[in-house]
Amino acid sequence: MNKVVLIGRLTKDPNLRFTPGKDTAVCTFTLAVDRKRASKDGQREADFVPIVVWGKQAESTTNYMSKGRLIGISGRIQTRSYEAKDGTKRYVTEVIADEVQFLEWGKKSDKQKEPDYPDELTPVDDGDPIPF
């Protein structure tokens, strides 16, 4: 069985490309996933996991996710190899996402700003709890 579920934050904006010939969207990014325990000196540690998303999910991820946003991924681990320019063989392990959940929403240009109320509307906090 090969199943991975991760929740973490994007280390930088997703990178969208299209495959030659078929023009299938593919999005890549690195996910910073906190470890359960802190290091011996009390510092929190994280693993940095390369993620690959295909198709419409790749386009949506690129449009709505940006550096620092929280995202959930479900998929599988895949290992591949290639020959580098210097002739050495390199190995890459990455997660191929089957499902993507946006846990923090917003377009890239919306950096979690306050809602823009029209001048005639003023938000009021009267202290009464909502009855449900």
Q: Which amino acid is at 59?
A: E
Domain ranges of the chain: 4-102
* Mean pLDDT over each residue of the chain, to the nearest integer: 84
* pTM, entire model: 0.74
- Cα separation, 46 vs 6, whole angstroms: 12
What's the CATH superfamily of 4-102? Nucleic acid-binding proteins (2.40.50.140)
Percent of the chain with pLDDT over 70: 78
Confidence of residue 37 (pLDDT cuts 50, 70, 90): confident
In contact, 27 and 53? CB cutoff 8 Å: yes
More confident residue, 33 or 130: 33
